[in-house]
Structure 1
Amino acid sequence: MNIERSELMTGIDRAALDALVDGRHGDPFALLGPHPAQGATIIRAFLPGAEGVEILSRDGSGTRFRMHAIHPGGIFAAAIDRGDAYRLRIQWPEAVQETEDPYAFGLLLGDLDLHLIGQGTHYDLGRTLGARAMEVDGVSGVRFSVWAPNARRVSVVGDFNAWDGRRHPMRLRQPSGVWELFVPRLGPGDRYKFEILDRNGTVLPQKADPVARASEAAPATASIVAASQPFRWTDDDWMRSGAARRAGEGPISVYEVHPGSWLRIAEESNRVLDWVELSQRLIPYVQKLGFTHIELMPIMEHPFGGSWGYQPLGLFAPTGRYGTPEDLAYFIDRCHAAGIGVLLDWVPAHFPTDVWGLARFDGTALYEHEDPREGFHKDWNTLIYNLGRNEVKGFLIASALEWLEHFHIDGLRVDAVASMLYRDYSRKDGEWIPNKYGGRENLESVEFFKHLNSIIHQRCSHAFTVAEESTAWPGVTKPVEEGGLGFDFKWNMGWMHDTLHYMEKEPIFRRHHHGMMTFGMVYAYSERFMLPLSHDEVVHGKGSLIGKMPGDAWQRMANLRAYFGFMWAHPGKKLLFMGGEIGQWTEWNHDGSIHWDLLDRPEHAGLQRLVGDLNRLYRAEPALQFADLHPEGFEWVIGDDAENSVFGLLRKTGDGKSLILALSNMTPVAREGYRVGVPQEGRWQVVLNTDAGLYGGSNLGQVEVWTDAESAHGHPQSVMLTLPPLATIYLKWTPPGG
C-alpha cells in the first residue's frame, strides 16, 4: 500500500491518541481495529511495550503487513488493501504472541438484551453480563460485559494483559450503560477484573465482576471465567416432583449447615471439606437422621469468613472455599439422588463496603442509595441495595434464578426480610426517610418481594421461598394475587423466642410462664410457618441449645429431648442447626468443627438417635403433617395445666382416621395416673418416648394403653397414663381390628 504514515492517522488527532495511551479515552473502537480509508483498510492497535507488530491473514495465508508506530506510547497502524479477517503477530521483549484483534469484532449484545437489562427483566444476567466463554466468527474467546453507566472508561484486566487497564478498554452501548468487549483466546479459568475511570477522571480500585459465576477463594478477590459447558445433571425425576414439595403438604425437616465448620480434618491443619467430600460424608449423615432438606448458610462468594456468608459480594458465584461451581453442582445432584432437597440462604438486603466490590461501582452510588438514611446499615456496616432502580432489582432477581435454575437449588431462605420492609429498621428518629405517603413501609421492597416470588413461582415449579421475617408484617406467605408478599413459608421467630425462654426457666417456675408454650397456636395459621432453631440461637454469647437448659447434666439432656419432642409435635415445618442434634455443649465456632467426639457418650448418641426417630415418625405419619397448614388438623387436648406444666397436642388428618397424641411433661416429677381425654376409643400405642433408655432417659412409661368410658378434656373417653419426667411421649391410635 502507498498510504503515507501520516495518513494512518486519518480522522483522528494526537490528543485522541494521547487520551488512549493515558487510559482516558472512552471510545476505543473509534481509534482501534479496522477502519475504511481511501479504498483501503487502516488497522490500528494499542500494544504498550511491544517491539513490533505484523498483520497476518487469520487463516495463515497471504501477505504480512508490518505495522508502524504512530505514537510512542505503543499505538501501531498499517493499511491493507482488503478487509479479510486478520491476526496480529506481536513481538514482545521476551516472547512472540499471535492473536486476533479484540477491536476487529462487532457488536455482540443484542438490543433486546440491553432493553431487558434496563427494564430490570433480564433474568439470565449470568449468561449475558460478566464473562461468557464463546466463539465469534470461528474464534474462541470471552465476551466481557458490565453495567457501569456513569463511567468515563471501563477496561477488562487480568493476567492476559498484566492487569494493565490501558490495554483492553471496552465499548459503551448507549443508552443502556453496558460496556462490552470480546477478547480472543481467553477461556474458562482465566482471572479478570474491571478497571473503571469515573466521570471525574479518577481511576477506581479494580472491581470484581458483579455477575461473575466463579471467583477466587478469599482473601483473593479476582473473578474467574466460568466453564461454559453445562453440568450433566441426573436429577430429572427429582426436579419434576418438586411442585409437590413446594405445596408444603408433606414433611419438611431442615438440617441447617455451615459447610466450613460441619466437619474439619484436624490432622490436615484443620482444613475444611470440599463439596465432593461433603457429598461423601454429609449426605449419608443427613439421610441417617431422616431430614428432608439441607439448608446451606450463604455460599455466595464473600470476602470475610466471619460473616458466615451473610455479607456476600458475588451473588452469582459459589465461594471458592469448597471447590469449583461444578463441584457444588455435583454435591446438589448427589443430594437429590439421595432424596434430599437443598435450600440456600440468600441475602438481598445488603452488601459489604469493600472497594473492589459493588460499593460506588462506577464512582457513583450505583447499586446502593446515595443517602445513608436509606443506604447504610449501621448494625452490619453494610450498604443497602437501591430497589427503586430497575437494573438493581433485575440483578437481584437474576441472582435468585441463577441458583434455582442453573444449580437446581430447591428453595431460598431470604435473609433479613424485616430490615428491608421497614425504612426505620434499627433507626432512630431523623435517621430514616419516610415513603411517599409519609409511612415507614418500604414500598420498593414490597414490590420487589412480590416480583421476586411471582417470577420464581412462574419459572421454578420445583422451588419454594422462605422469609426470615421477625415482625407481624401481614401476608408474608399470602399469594401475591391476594395482596401478599408471596413467600411459601416464614420462619416463626416468635415461637422460637417464646419456647426457648420457657425452657430456660427452672421447672419449678415454668407454671408461671405456661402461656409461652401455647401462645404460638394463637397465630399458628396466620402464615405458613417453619419452626427454626437456627445458628442465630447458638452464637454471640447465647450459648448452645443444651446450655440453655436448666438443671444438672442429666436434666439438661432430658429437657432438650422433651423440647425436641414438643417441637416435632407442634404444627409447622422444622429446622435445626447442626450440632443441636448431638447436644453440643459449646457455642458454634465457624473456625472450628462440630464436637463429634461427644457421640462416644451414650447420652449424646441417644439424643442424636432421638432426632432421627422424630424425623422418621414425622415423615411416616400423615397426622403429624396435615396440621402444619390446616387448622382442623390440630387440637389442644391439654393446654391449661400450668400447675403440672403438662401439654397435650392432638394431631390428626382431615378425615380423622390418623391420630397422634403428644404429651409433654416439663417437670422432673413423673405424673402417675394422669388422665387424658381422647377422641377415639380403643388402643393407643406409645410410638415414641423421649425418656426411653435408648435415648438416655429413665425408661419410664407404658408401651400402650386402652381407653375407658370416663370423659375428660371434652372427649367421652380417656386413657390413664404415667407421664415420664422431663419428657414428651407420642401415642398413636389404632382403629378396632387394626
Structure 2
Amino acid sequence: MPSKATDAYTAISLEDARRIVVGQHNDPFAVLGPHKVGRARFVNAFDPGADRMFAIVGKKKYELSAVPDAPGVFTGKVPGKTAYRLYGEDDAGGFWEMDDAFRFGPVMGEMDEYLLAEGTHERIWQVLGAHVIQHEGAQGTHFAVWAPNARRVSVVGDFNAWDGRRHPMRRRGATGVWETFVPGVGDGTVYKYEILGIDGTTMPLKADPVGFGSQHPPENASVVRDITGYGWDDDQWMAERGDRNARTAPISVYEVHLGSWRRKVEEDHRMLSYKEMVTELVDYVADMGFTHIELLPISEFPFDGSWGYQPVGMFAPTIRFGPPHEFRDFVEAAHLKGLGILLDWVPGHFPTDAHGLGRFDGTALYEHADPREGFHQDWNTYIYNYGRREVANYLISNALYWLEEYHIDGLRVDAVASMLYRDYSRKDGEWVPNKDGGRENYETIEMLQRMNVTTYGKVDGIMTVAEESTSFPGVSRPVDAGGLGFGYKWNMGWMNDTLEYVKKDPIYRKHHHHQMTFGLHYAFSENFILPISHDEVVHGKGSMLTKMPGDDWEKFANLRAYYGFMWGHPGKKLLFMGQEFAQRAEWNHNQSLDWACLADGMHAGMQRLVRDLNALYRAEPALHVKDCEPDGFQWIESNDADASTYAWLRRGGEGDRPVAIISNFTPVERSAWQCGLPHEGRWREALNTDASVYGGGDRGNMGEVIASGEGWHGQPASARVTVPPLSTIILTFEGS
C-alpha cells in the first residue's frame, strides 16, 4: 500500500475542514472532492462515520490522512486522472465502498440557469427536483432546488443518515438554485432538504417543491420517482380531444374524490388504487355517459380533511392510490374509453406545514412577507407571491407539467375569486391596495393570463376552467381580447339561484319564479359550466336529495325535474359523485359512497335518469352545440309563475332538429298545457323524468305530441302537452 503523502494538508485548510465538520461551509465543492495542487491530484473527503478512509483507483487503494481537529475529514494524494471510489473503515470492523459525490461536475446547463433566473423556464421540472440519471459514468440521482437566500442546502435521507453535512449542494450562481449529483441513489429513495437560513438558523427539513413523489401521509418526505419511460398508447385520443373539449362539444363532467368514491368494505374500508380505478371508476363513468372525470386535487397533500385543496407536493400525484406510472395507467384507461381527465389545480394558496413551502429558505420566498397579502384568513394558509417571477414561473410550469407529463386534458382552477381580489374576505385595513389604489390583484391576473397562454399554446386540445364566483369580466375570453384566457367558467350564480329555488316548498315557488330564469340574462357572457359540485353536499348543507322539499316521493320527483331542467339549460354540465343516484347522506370524505342504496328502485331510477340525460345530451346537437351561444336558446314561456312552469327551445347548427324542454315545478299535473313550437308535426317525447323507469308515475304523452298550425307563445305552431307534476319533459322534432 502506498505510504501517506508527506504534504497531506496542502489541499485543505484546517479552517475549511472545521467548517465542513460543523456544516457551515457555503462552498463545499471548493473544498471536497478532487483538487489539483501543483501537478498532483489530491482528494479531500468527509465521512463522519469513518475512522480511516482510502481512495481506490483501479485495484489500488491509497490511504487518505485524517485532518486533525476535524473528525471525519480526510485528505491525500491520489495518482492518476481516472475516476476513483472511496473506501471507509471504522474501528468496529465495518467497511463500505462508495462513489464520491464531490468528484462529479454540475448537471445544469447555462441555458437552464438563464431561464430559471429570468423566470421564463416553462418546464422547470426537467431541471429541478430529483432525476434518476447517468452522469459522468455513474448511475445516481441529480437533485436541484431553488433556495436563493440559503447559506447552505443539503439533500438528506437514509442514504446519508439524514446528516446534512454529508451532501451539501453546489450553488449555481445568481439563480438561487442549488444542485448535486448523488451516485448510487435511485428510484424509491426517501429524501428532504436541510436548509441553513441566511441568519444561520437550520430550517425544519423541507420536502422538495418539485418532487415527483412523496411518502404516505402522515409521513411527509419526498421520494425519488423516475417518471421517464412511460409508453403512452392514447395517440388517437390525444389527436381528437380538441373536438371533445370544444365549446360546441357535449361536456358532462363527473366530479370525483378518489378517496371516497368507493372503498373495499371487506378490506377494512381501504381506498381503491389507481390500478383498481382503471376498471371500476373508468368503466362506471363511461357506462353513465359522462364525457369527463374531474378529480379533486391529487397533488400530494398532508391532511385528508383538506380533500387535496391544501397541497404540498405540487408535482407529485398522491401516493395514497399508487405511484406516478399507475396514475398514468388510470389516465390512459380513461382515454381509451373516450373519457377526458380534468384535475382540480390549486395555485391560490398553500398550507403552513413546516415541511412545505412556507419560509422555505428562511425567508418569505414563495409567499408574501406581509400577511395582508400573504396569508389567507379563511383557510389559515399562505398566499403565493404572484408578482415574483420565479414563483409565477413555478406555478405556470406546474400547470404545464400535468398536461404534458400525465396527458391531463384540462385544469379546473380552484378559488379564482380569492386570487383576483386583494380584499377577498378581508375588512378595511386588512389588505393592501394595488398600485392604482384598487382591489384587483394585477399580479394574479398576469399570472393566470400567462398560464392560459402557455398551456393552450404548448398543448393541443386542452381546456382550463375557472371556479370564479364573482362577475369579474372576461374570465373565459381570450387574453388578446382583454380576458383571463380560460376556456370555461363555473356558473356559480346559476347554481346558487336554482338550488335556492328548488329547496323551497312548491307553494312558495311562484314568488321566486325568476330565480330559475335570471341566469339567462348572462348565460352567454362566458363559456359556462353548470356545476353541482362537492361544495353543495358538505358542511351541513345535506345531500341533493335531502335539500328537496316534501315527502320521499316528492323529493325524488323534485330532484329528477331539476336534473332535467339542468341538462336542458344552456351550459356544460357537472355533477359530483353520489348525486347521480341521489345518495341520502351528506358526502363524507372518510367513507365510501352509499352504493347499497341502489338496491332501492328510486335511487336506481335516478341513476338511470342521469345516464339517459347524458345519452340524450350527447345525441342531440341542439342540446350542446350552442351551449355558449345566444342563438341556441329561445324562451317559449318564462313568465308562468302561477303554474311554476317553464318552457324553452334549444337549437343547434344548420340542419340540426330543435329540442323543446318543459319543466313543471309544482306537484300539480298540467294537462293539455298549450306549448308553442316552431314546427307543425310530430314531436317525440325523448325523455320524461316522470317515467316509471326513473321512479315516476308514468304520466305523460304516450311517447309523442302532434303540433298543429295554431300559433302560441309567439311560435307558429303549438301542441297540447301533458306535463306531469314535478317533472321535466324533453321533446325532439321528428318531422311533419
Distance apart, 1:479 and its partner CA: 0.3
Counterpart for residue 278 of structure 2: 279
Counterpart for residue 83 of structure 2: 85
Distance in 1 of aligned mates of 2:299 and 2:362: 24
Distance in 1 of aligned mates of 2:245 and 2:89: 60
Distance apart, 1:358 and its partner CA: 0.5
Distance in 1 of aligned mates of 2:383 and 2:214: 23
Distance in 2 of aligned mates of 1:228 and 1:543: 41
Counterpart for residue 328 of structure 2: 329
Which deviates further from its counterpart, 241-250 or 8-17?
8-17
Distance in 2 of aligned mates of 1:613 and 1:582: 13
Counterpart for residue 69 of structure 1: 66
Instruction: Summarize deviations over 1:25-84 as a string: whole Å, max 9, x none.
Output: 111011100110131011000000112221112xx34x3211111144200111023222
Distance apart, 1:356 and its partner CA: 0.8
Instruction: Summarize deviations over 1:381-403 as a string: whole Å, max 9, x none.
Output: 00000011111111111111111
2:227–2:325 Cα contact (<8 Å) kept: no
Instruction: Summarize deviations over 1:4-34 as a string: whole Å, max 9, x none.
Output: 7673332643222111100111110111001
Instruction: Summarize deviations over 1:639-690 as a string: whole Å, max 9, x none.
Output: 1100100011211123264111010000000011100010011101101000
Structure 1 residues 475 and 228: CA distance shift in structure 2, 3 A = closer
2:4–2:64 Cα contact (<8 Å) kept: no
How high is the TM-score relative to the length of structure 1? 0.98
Instruction: Summarize deviations over 1:86-118 as a string: whole Å, max 9, x none.
Output: 111122446432221111111211111011112
Instruction: Summarize deviations over 1:258-277 as a string: whole Å, max 9, x none.
Output: 00000011111111000011
Q: Which amino acid aligns with 1:22?
A: V
After TM superposition, the structure 1 = structure 2 runs for residues 627-638 of structure 1, keeping only pairs within 5 Å, are 627-638=626-637
Which deviates further from its counterpart, 305-314 or 260-269?
260-269
Distance apart, 1:2 and its partner CA: 9.8
How many matched pairs?
733
Q: Which amino acid aligns with 1:90?
A: G
Q: Match of 2:209, SS?
A: coil
Q: Match of 1:241, SS?
A: helix
Counterpart for residue 670 of structure 2: 671
CA RMSD, aligned part only?
1.3
Q: Which amino acid aligns with 2:608?
A: R
1:3–1:79 Cα contact (<8 Å) kept: no
Q: Which amino acid aligns with 1:536?
A: D
Distance in 2 of aligned mates of 1:96 and 1:563: 73
Q: Which amino acid aligns with 2:40?
A: A
Counterpart for residue 316 of structure 1: 315
Distance in 1 of aligned mates of 2:531 and 2:731: 25
Distance in 1 of aligned mates of 2:227 and 2:332: 19
Which deviates further from its counterpart, 594-603 or 77-86?
77-86
1:399 matched to 2:398: yes
Distance in 2 of aligned mates of 1:12 and 1:56: 20
After TM superposition, the structure 1 = structure 2 runs for residues 151-300 of structure 1, keeping only pairs within 5 Å, are 151-300=150-299
Q: Match of 1:312, SS?
A: coil
Distance apart, 1:244 and its partner CA: 1.5
Counterpart for residue 380 of structure 1: 379
Structure 1 residues 720 and 155: CA distance shift in structure 2, 3 A = same
1:32–1:103 Cα contact (<8 Å) kept: yes
Q: Which amino acid aligns with 1:580?
A: Q
Counterpart for residue 40 of structure 2: 40
Instruction: Summarize deviations over 1:148-197 as a string: whole Å, max 9, x none.
Output: 00000110000100111111111111111110110001111111100001
Instruction: Summarize deviations over 1:383-426 as a string: whole Å, max 9, x none.
Output: 00001111111111111111100000000000010000000000
Moved over 6 A (4+): 1-4
Q: Match of 1:67, SS?
A: strand
Q: Which amino acid aligns with 1:734?
A: E
Instruction: Summarize deviations over 1:410-469 as a string: whole Å, max 9, x none.
Output: 000000100000000000000000011111000000000110000001111121100000
Counterpart for residue 441 of structure 2: 442
1:188–1:228 Cα contact (<8 Å) kept: no
Q: Which amino acid aligns with 2:271?
A: V
Distance in 1 of aligned mates of 2:639 and 2:630: 19
Counterpart for residue 582 of structure 1: 581
Counterpart for residue 621 of structure 1: 620
Distance in 2 of aligned mates of 1:8 and 1:104: 18
Structure 1: gaps spanning 5 or more residues: none
Distance in 2 of aligned mates of 1:383 and 1:391: 17
2:4–2:76 Cα contact (<8 Å) kept: no
* Identical columns (%): 54
Counterpart for residue 305 of structure 2: 306
Q: Match of 1:64, SS?
A: strand
Distance apart, 1:228 and its partner CA: 4.5
Q: Which amino acid aligns with 2:56?
A: L
Structure 1 residues 6 and 550: CA distance shift in structure 2, 3 A = farther
Q: Match of 2:175, SS?
A: coil
Counterpart for residue 566 of structure 1: 565
Instruction: Summarize deviations over 1:110-134 as a string: whole Å, max 9, x none.
Output: 1110111122221222221011110
Distance in 2 of aligned mates of 1:49 and 1:2: 23
After TM superposition, the structure 1 = structure 2 runs for residues 412-451 of structure 1, keeping only pairs within 5 Å, are 412-451=411-450
Distance in 1 of aligned mates of 2:175 and 2:277: 42
How high is the TM-score relative to the length of structure 2? 0.98
Distance apart, 1:625 and its partner CA: 0.7
Distance apart, 1:238 and its partner CA: 0.4
Distance apart, 1:279 and its partner CA: 1.1
Distance apart, 1:3 and its partner CA: 9.8
